[in-house]
């Protein structure tokens, strides 16, 4: 752990994850059962995930920034039978216990457990440190948003494979990023996100060393690269922006010569920012385009990006197809359309057959709803994102959730929530509101609506500002022309900031 210096050895992880798996079996969780955890970046995160992983469970790390009702919705939808939280969340423990209806056992890490919770440390200490008799390779089931604005679980099959079975993801680690037992990997991001979770677990699978930051700090990250002789890392574009804004004398203070692979994705990066990072760090940036669904993946090196600026690379998982949204016909070079992957990895949206069906066409290709085009060499360029999803600092924010809350306020007649430019985060959340009475429009109502939204949603999902309009652009059928609203704020730029 970067801040405390606490070290977990492979032997300790082996023992702790076995004890966790044994506890899950004692509680009646067999293969393909489900558990969830709400844990900040700390060693127990991996002990629990690897314990669930080797017990053949589906495990859902839930964002620590969500409210109690949002966490309860996810645990209920997933069918989680066990929930583990830390004492960091004592303030919502009682609320979680009351609202997580399907959960059978609640555990707390750290200190005296709250009423209704058991001590995780005591429970696992009583278990043997040997593997369960029926070990099976499990999987994470992470949550994304559905068309209704409610999060949906992204479910991939558990096939009964032995623990440690090589997967395409493991193979890519070796092939693309030169993963090895000698690697030293820095993780500066929350572990409940897909890339940090999966890449960190992969590092441990291949025997590499992890350095985990509890919270990202630009200079601290550089200091850690020097101190631990970091060879590999994973970033979101906002982190690049923050590091580039450090004074020149700070940026040049640290020895980064050990750093060979800087993986990045999870959001748009401007060509200017990326070029500045390559000029500073050298050609060590490796970009990917993928999603939690795992249906496909593109990849591009720094060298290839220099001759294909703005591209997110060529397909390395699945086959890229650009399809016309209306006719369903496949488009040619340089023609923009929906990005599909053919022959990719299978997935479904848990408890949402309609959304699953919507993601696939009649050829069996799947799409995430992103818009882009291919050049003559097969390099993909993204021009827009799925259904106006906002990506702020690498975090996916779905405006429908805030819209559903704000429209319930008695002074709101109509509302559109959009992403607008933010120099640090790429995008930030803004609400454009049509008040019931335009005379109410002003700072006082804006503050009232922002406070109302924060009562119901995690702060990160709430608008940072509110503008007022006499009427929002809607078709006679009721369809909102959100693009017309967005264009007022983006001007000549696109939401991808190329």
User: In CATH, what number is assigned to the domain containing residue 301?
Assistant: 2.30.38.10
Q: Which two tokens stand for residue 469?
A: 């309009």
Exposed / middle / buried, residue 61 (Cβ in 10 Å: 0-12, 13-18, 19+):
buried
What would you report as the CA-atom Rg of the chain, rounded to the nearest whole angstrom?
Answer: 23
How many of the other CB atoms lie within 10 Å of CB of 125? 12
Q: Looking at residue 146, what is its pLDDT?
A: 40
Q: Looking at residue 244, what is its pLDDT?
A: 87
Q: Looking at residue 497, what is its pLDDT?
A: 31
Exposed / middle / buried, residue 392 (Cβ in 10 Å: 0-12, 13-18, 19+):
buried
Q: Looking at residue 171, what is its pLDDT?
A: 78
**Average pLDDT estimate for 432-453:** 95
Please state, in angstroms and rounded to a whole number, the distance separating the CA atoms of residues 370 and 388: 10
Query: Which residue would you say has higher pLDDT here, 69 or 370?
Result: 69
Residue 102 scores a pLDDT above 90: yes
Residues 130 and 100 in one domain: yes
Q: What is the CATH number of the domain that holds 410?
A: 3.30.300.30
Residues 359 and 392 in one domain: no
Adjacent-strand bridge partners of 224: none
**Average pLDDT estimate for 324-341:** 91
How many of the other CB atoms lie within 10 Å of CB of 110? 16
| Residue 209 belongs to a domain | no
Percent residues over pLDDT 90 in the chain: 69
Domain boundary among the residues 105, 140, 165 is at 165
| Residue 87 belongs to a domain | yes
Q: Looking at residue 149, what is its pLDDT?
A: 58
Torsion sign over Cα 273, 277, 280, 282: negative
Please state, in angstroms and rounded to a whole number, the distance separating the CA atoms of residues 28 and 20: 13
Torsion of CA 156, 290, 298, 160, to 10 degrees: -20
Residue 166 scores a pLDDT above 50: yes
Q: Looking at residue 393, what is its pLDDT?
A: 85
Q: Which two tokens stand for residue 102?
A: 């399907």
Torsion of CA 193, 199, 202, 203, to 10 degrees: -120
Identify whether the C-beta of residue 421 lies closer than 8 Å to the C-beta of residue 490: yes
Residues 30 and 139 in one domain: yes
Dihedral pair phi/psi, residue 199, rounded to 5°: -70, -40
Q: Looking at residue 165, what is its pLDDT?
A: 84
Q: Looking at residue 254, what is its pLDDT?
A: 98
Residue 145 pLDDT level (bands cut at 50, 70, 90): low
Prediction pTM value: 0.80
| Residue 233 belongs to a domain | no
How many domains in the chain?
3
Least confident of 304-313, 406-415, 439-448: 406-415
Q: Looking at residue 14, what is its pLDDT?
A: 97
Domain boundary among the residues 384, 416, 451 is at 384
Percent residues over pLDDT 70 in the chain: 95
The HSE-up count of residue 290 (CA atoms within 13 Å, CB side) is: 27
HEC assignment per residue over the chain: CCCCCCCCCHHHHHHHHHHHHHHHHHCCCCCCCEEEEECCCCHHHHHHHHHHHHECCEEEECCCCCCHHHHHHHHHHHCCCEEEEEHHHHHHHHHHHHHCCCCCEEEEECCCCCCCCEEHHHHHHCCCCCCCCCCECCEECEEEECCCCCEEEEECCCCCCCCCCCCHHHHHHHHHHCCCCCCEEEECCCCCCHHHHHHHHHHHHCCCEEEECCCCCHHHHHHHHHHHCCCEEEECHHHHHHHHCCCHHHHCCCCCCCCCEEEECCCCCCHHHHHHHHHHHCCCEEEEECCCCCCCEEEEEHHHHHHCCCCCEEEEECEEEEECCCCCCECCCCCCEEEEEECCCCCEECCCHHHHHHCECCCCCEEEEEEEEECCCCCEEEEECHHHCEEECCEEECHHHHHHHHCCCCCEEEEEEEEEEECCCEEEEEEEEEECCHHHCCHHHHHHHHHHHHHHCCHHHCCCEEEECCCCCECCCCCECHHHHHHHHHCCCCCCCC
| Residue 157 belongs to a domain | yes
Residue 148 scores a pLDDT above 70: no
Please state, in angstroms and rounded to a whole number, the distance separating the CA atoms of residues 60 and 77: 11
Q: Looking at residue 385, what is its pLDDT?
A: 61
Residues 451 and 332 in one domain: no
Residues 416 and 355 in one domain: no
Domain boundary among the residues 165, 189, 207 is at 165
Q: What is the pLDDT of residues 274-284, one digit of tens each?
A: 999 999 999 99
Least confident of 198-202, 244-248, 321-325, 481-485: 481-485
Residues 39 and 62 in one domain: yes
Residue 425 scores a pLDDT above 60: yes
Q: What is the pLDDT of residues 295-315, one digit of tens each?
A: 899 999 999 999 999 899 999
Please state, in angstroms and rounded to a whole number, the distance separating the CA atoms of residues 232 and 296: 23
Q: Looking at residue 384, what is its pLDDT?
A: 58
Domain with 157, as residue range(s), is 10-165
Residue 147 pLDDT level (bands cut at 50, 70, 90): very low
| Residue 498 belongs to a domain | no
How long a stretch of residues is the chain? Answer: 498
Residues 465 and 323 in one domain: no
Q: What is the pLDDT of residues 68-86, one digit of tens each?
A: 999 999 999 999 999 999 9
Q: Looking at residue 496, what is its pLDDT?
A: 36
How many of the other CB atoms lie within 10 Å of CB of 308? 17
Share the mean pLDDT of the chain: 90
Exposed / middle / buried, residue 303 (Cβ in 10 Å: 0-12, 13-18, 19+):
exposed
Q: Looking at residue 476, what is its pLDDT?
A: 42
Residue 493 scores a pLDDT above 80: no
Residues 139 and 160 in one domain: yes
Q: What is the pLDDT of residues 201-246, one digit of tens each?
A: 999 999 999 999 999 999 999 999 999 999 999 998 878 878 988 9
Using alpha carbons only, what angle is made at residue 178 by residues 175 and 179, rounded to the nearest 5 degrees?
Answer: 105
Q: What is the CATH number of the domain that holds 86?
A: 3.40.50.12780
**Average pLDDT estimate for 173-198:** 91
Residues 452 and 351 in one domain: no
Identify whether the C-beta of residue 137 lies closer than 8 Å to the C-beta of residue 124: no
Exposed / middle / buried, residue 339 (Cβ in 10 Å: 0-12, 13-18, 19+):
buried
């Amino acid at each position: 752990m970067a801040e405390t210096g606490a070290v977990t050895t492979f032997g300790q992880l082996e023992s702790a994850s076995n004890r966790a798996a044994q506890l899950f079996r004692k509680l009646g969780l067999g293969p393909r059962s489900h558990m969830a955890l709400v844990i900040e970046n700390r060693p127990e995160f991996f002990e629990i995930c690897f314990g669930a992983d080797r017990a053949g469970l589906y495990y859902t790390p839930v964002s620590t920034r969500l409210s109690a009702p949002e966490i309860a919705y996810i645990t209920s939808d997933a069918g989680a039978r066990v929930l583990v939280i830390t004492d960091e969340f004592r303030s919502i423990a009682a609320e979680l216990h009351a609202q997580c209806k399907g959960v059978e056992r609640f555990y707390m890490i750290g200190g005296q457990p709250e009423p209704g919770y058991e001590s995780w440390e005591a429970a696992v200490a009583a278990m043997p440190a040997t593997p369960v008799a029926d070990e099976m390779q499990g999987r994470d089931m992470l949550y994304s948003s559905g068309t209704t604005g409610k999060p949906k679980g992204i479910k991939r099959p558990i096939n009964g494979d032995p623990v440690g079975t090589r997967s395409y993801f493991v193979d890519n680690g070796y092939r693309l990023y030169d993963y090895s037992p000698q690697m030293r990997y820095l993780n500066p991001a929350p572990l409940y996100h897909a890339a940090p979770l999966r890449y960190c677990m992969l590092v441990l699978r291949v025997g590499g060393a992890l350095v985990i930051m509890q919270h990202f700090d630009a200079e601290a990250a550089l200091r850690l690269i020097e101190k631990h002789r970091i060879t590999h890392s994973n970033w979101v574009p906002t982190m690049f922006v923050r590091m580039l804004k450090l004074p020149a004398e700070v940026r040049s203070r640290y020895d980064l010569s050990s750093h060979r692979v800087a993986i990045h994705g999870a959001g748009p990066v401007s060509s200017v920012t990326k070029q500045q990072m390559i000029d500073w760090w050298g050609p060590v940036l490796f970009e990917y385009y993928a999603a939690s669904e795992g249906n496909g993946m593109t990849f591009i090196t720094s060298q290839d990006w220099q001759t294909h600026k703005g591209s997110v690379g060529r397909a390395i998982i699945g086959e890229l197809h650009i399809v016309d949204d209306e006719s369903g016909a496949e488009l040619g070079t340089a023609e923009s359309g929906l990005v599909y992957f053919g022959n990719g990895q299978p997935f479904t949206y848990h408890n949402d057959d309609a959304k699953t069906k919507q993601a696939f066409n009649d050829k069996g290709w799947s799409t995430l709803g992103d818009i882009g085009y291919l050049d003559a060499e097969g390099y993909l360029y993204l021009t827009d994102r799925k259904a106006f999803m906002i990506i702020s600092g690498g975090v996916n924010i779905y405006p429908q959730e805030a819209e559903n809350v704000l429209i319930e306020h008695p002074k709101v007649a109509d509302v559109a929530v959009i992403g607008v430019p933010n120099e640090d985060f790429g995008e930030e959340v803004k609400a454009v509101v049509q008040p019931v009475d335009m005379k109410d429009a002003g700072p006082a109502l804006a503050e009232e609506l922002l406070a109302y939204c924060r009562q119901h949603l995690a702060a990160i999902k709430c608008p940072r500002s509110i503008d007022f309009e006499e009427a929002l652009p809607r078709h006679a059928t009721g369809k909102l022309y959100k693009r017309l609203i967005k264009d007022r704020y983006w001007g000549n730029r696109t939401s991808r900031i190329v």
